[in-house]
């Protein structure tokens, strides 16, 4: 236990009162036992082996049967683009390709801090060819440009969505944008749910205003219509339908839909419309799933090409893609534990959609 800061305390007479005020503020936090148990459960598992994503082109594996009970899809928007710093370098070459993630420059110097995306000046593959893997990620440069223009509006609001485990309805989530244009939402499956509710992050930011949202039997449209009146420029709506859960995220280029278990975290991020969907996206999935194909298709991505890396991850790219999309079907069935260059992939992601089959 660190020693009391007597020296500093004597430096400023209000120090003890500041300590007391901070302690009182901190004591306001009620430890969420569900969240705590969730972490404890994760820690009970063996650490997954680190994975260096080294993509090698191999014949496409046979499509897995639709026996996947659950496919979690993690869309990595690498949003910390907007923050600056060193970044993620992706390069491809010839028939082989590798994805290399540099340790990001960090505001505070440690691990797990902001990541930005940039292309190394020395990267000779910086000019991607059409239909090449590099083309898939070419928008990194564009995004970096966007990021430079919007570096002051980067913001993550998180919503915790907890659903009744017995809820039989469908949850629809849609993002609508007027002046703002970048929805990032995270829907992670929850093992233990409570009453349906979405808890917004406190306060609002800029043009993004948050509001409490309750599941509504009227469906997403009704909820959305209501929310649009309450939220400026951006809305999340939840509605229930039947059998399973539905997630619909409307981005600028169209709708994204899939079925998903009720999740617990939503993240939203605001950006200018010009930069929407030029954001490079990496999807981490525990396997192929029709909903994923539909999503990719909605994003304008067709012409699937598959490759398997040394760790057994299947990397999917697209000959035609309206956005910069790369799909990594992880070797394990737990995308949450996926690593890229030894770092949890979740450090690089901003969008998580969890699908159920």
The set of residues, in sequence order, having a beta carbon less than 8 Å from that of 164 and lying 6+ positions away, is 193, 194, 195, 196
Min separation Cβ 2 and other proteins, Å: 5
Contact status, residue 276 vs residue 181, Cβ threshold 8 Å: yes
Which residue, 202, 186, 176, is CA-closest to 77? 186
Contact residue for other proteins among 110, 130, 166, 229 (CB under 8 A): 110
Q: Is 23 in the site for other proteins (CB under 8 A)?
A: yes
Query: Among residues 126 and 153, whose Cβ is nearest to other proteins?
Result: 153
Interacting stretch for other proteins, rule CB under 8 A, among 154-162, 175-183, 244-252, 285-293?
154-162
Task: Report the alpha-carbon distance of residue 234 to residue 174 in Å, rounded.
Answer: 10
Task: Report the alpha-carbon distance of residue 80 to residue 87 in Å, rounded.
Answer: 9
Q: Is 193 in the site for other proteins (CB under 8 A)?
A: no
Task: Report the alpha-carbon distance of residue 347 to residue 317 in Å, rounded.
Answer: 21
Binding-residue pattern over the window 251 to 290 for other proteins, x denoting contact by CB under 8 A: --------------x-------------------------
Binding-residue pattern over the window 111 to 140 for other proteins, x denoting contact by CB under 8 A: xxxx--------------------------
SS3 294: helix
Contact residue for other proteins among 25, 69, 130, 242 (CB under 8 A): 25
Listed in sequence order, the DSSP H helices in 150-289 are 219-230
Contact residue for other proteins among 53, 339, 341, 348 (CB under 8 A): 339
Query: Among residues 151 and 320, whose Cβ is nearest to other proteins?
Result: 151
Name the helix (H) or strand (E) containing 16. helix 15-27
Task: Report the alpha-carbon distance of residue 304 to residue 301 in Å, rounded.
Answer: 8
Interacting stretch for other proteins, rule CB under 8 A, among 64-72, 89-97, 151-159, 290-298?
151-159
Task: Report the alpha-carbon distance of residue 79 to residue 82 in Å, rounded.
Answer: 6
Q: Is 232 in the site for other proteins (CB under 8 A)?
A: no
Q: Is 242 in the site for other proteins (CB under 8 A)?
A: no
Contact status, residue 325 vs residue 301, Cβ threshold 8 Å: yes
Task: Report the alpha-carbon distance of residue 215 to residue 245 in Å, rounded.
Answer: 12
Q: How far apart are the first and last CA of the chain?
A: 49
Contact residue for other proteins among 80, 224, 315, 345 (CB under 8 A): 80
Q: Site residues (CB under 8 A) for other proteins?
A: 1-5, 8, 11-12, 14-15, 17-32, 35-36, 38-40, 42-44, 47-48, 50, 80, 83, 106-114, 151-156, 158-160, 199, 201-202, 205-206, 265, 339, 344, 346-347
């Amino acid at each position: 236990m660190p020693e009391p800061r007597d020296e500093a305390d004597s430096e400023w007479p209000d120090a003890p009162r500041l300590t007391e005020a901070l302690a009182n503020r901190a004591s306001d936090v009620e430890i969420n036992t569900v969240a705590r148990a969730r972490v404890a459960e994760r820690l009970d598992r063996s650490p997954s082996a680190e994975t260096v994503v080294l993509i090698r082109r191999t014949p496409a594996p046979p499509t897995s049967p639709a026996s996947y009970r659950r496919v979690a899809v993690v869309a990595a928007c690498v949003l910390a683009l907007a923050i600056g710093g060193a970044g993620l370098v992706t390069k491809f070459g010839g028939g082989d390709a590798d994805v290399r993630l540099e340790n990001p420059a960090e505001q505070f110097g440690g691990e797990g801090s902001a990541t930005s995306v940039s292309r190394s000046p020395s990267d000779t593959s910086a000019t991607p060819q059409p239909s090449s893997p590099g083309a898939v990620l070419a928008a990194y440069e564009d995004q970096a440009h966007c990021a430079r223009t919007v570096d002051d509006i980067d913001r993550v609001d998180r919503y915790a969505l907890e659903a009744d485990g017995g809820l039989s309805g469908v949850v629809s989530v849609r993002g609508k944008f007027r002046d703002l244009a970048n929805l990032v939402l995270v829907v992670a499956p929850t093992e233990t749910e409570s009453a349906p509710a979405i808890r917004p992050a406190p306060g609002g930011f800029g043009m993004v205003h948050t509001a409490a949202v309750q599941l509504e039997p009227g469906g997403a449209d009704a909820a959305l219509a209501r929310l649009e009146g309450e939220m400026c420029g951006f809305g999340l709506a939840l509605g229930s339908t039947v059998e399973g859960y539905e997630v619909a995220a409307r981005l600028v280029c169209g709708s994204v839909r899939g079925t998903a278990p009720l999740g617990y975290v939503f993240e939203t991020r605001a950006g200018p419309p010009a930069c929407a969907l030029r954001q490079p996206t990496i999807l981490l999935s525990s396997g192929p799933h029709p909903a994923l194909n539909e999503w990719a298709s909605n994003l304008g991505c067709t012409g699937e090409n598959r490759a398997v890396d040394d760790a057994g991850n299947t990397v999917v790219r697209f000959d035609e893609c309206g956005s910069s999309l790369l799909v990594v079907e992880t070797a394990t069935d737990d995308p949450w534990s996926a690593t890229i260059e030894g770092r949890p992939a979740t450090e690089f992601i901003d969008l998580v959609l969890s699908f159920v089959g």
